[in-house]
């Protein structure tokens, strides 16, 4: 693909992905509450999920998404339910911490599932790839090599944005040393996570 096309795509994705939304809110809440060490399965699932949406758009499978709309709606509500569950766990999490560590994190599989559900069920992401992307890139002319170039560009932009959010949240978490601060962090994170669930549920 032409470099200009890739730069336009990268700029549009940077604006869309960099703006706070349900996925970013869930990511930040998780890092503040639990730290960054266990968040990478969640991040990996987010990146794979966006890659799936990009592939659907590039290979002209928007029709599939419309035909099997119920499946995507189901994924959306599974993601909402799981985010609500995580919010409840954070709200009720114990504030006892040994050796400066937060309470035990969820399993990598469950975090991966949560990240995938949030990404595949996020209408903002779906609309970017299936509605906005065709106005930026001539998808009919994208070859297999072009798809690889778009995917690589997407990965660079998303990794940069998401790791920047993780770093910012991790720095904020260093300030949380006392039991009171940890309790407040859990409650704030729970509220943010619940807000992310509500944001996804409210979008059609």
pLDDT tens, position by position, for the chain (204 residues)? 788 888 888 988 887 787 666 777 778 777 877 777 778 888 999 999 999 999 988 887 555 555 666 665 666 677 677 667 767 876 776 655 443 433 345 678 888 888 888 888 877 787 778 767 777 787 777 888 989 999 999 999 999 999 988 888 777 766 555 566 556 666 776 776 677 667 667 765
- d(Cα 135, Cα 118) in Å, to the nearest integer? 25
Q: Which two tokens stand for residue 80?
A: 């909402």
- d(Cα 132, Cα 60) in Å, to the nearest integer? 14
Cα radius of gyration (the chain): 18
Look up the pTM and report it: 0.67
């Amino acid at each position: 693909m032409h470099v200009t096309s890739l730069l336009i795509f990268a700029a549009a994705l940077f604006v869309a992905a960099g703006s706070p939304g349900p996925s970013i809110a869930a990511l930040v809440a998780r890092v503040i509450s639990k730290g960054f060490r266990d968040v990478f399965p969640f991040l990996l699932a987010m990146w794979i999920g966006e890659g799936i949406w990009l592939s659907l758009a590039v290979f002209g499978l928007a029709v599939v998404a419309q035909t099997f709309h119920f499946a995507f709606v189901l994924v959306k509500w599974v993601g909402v339910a799981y985010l609500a569950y995580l919010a409840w766990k954070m709200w009720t999490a114990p504030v006892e911490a040994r050796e400066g560590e937060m309470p035990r994190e969820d399993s990598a599989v469950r975090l991966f599932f949560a990240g995938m559900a949030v990404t595949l069920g996020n209408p903002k992401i779906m609309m970017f790839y299936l509605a906005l992307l065709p106005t930026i890139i001539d998808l009919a002319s994208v070859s297999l090599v072009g798809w690889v170039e778009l995917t690589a560009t997407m990965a660079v932009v998303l990794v940069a944005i998401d790791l920047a959010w993780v770093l910012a949240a991790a720095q904020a978490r260093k300030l949380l040393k006392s039991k009171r601060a940890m309790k407040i962090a859990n409650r704030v994170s729970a509220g943010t996570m619940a807000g992310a669930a509500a944001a996804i549920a409210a979008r059609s």
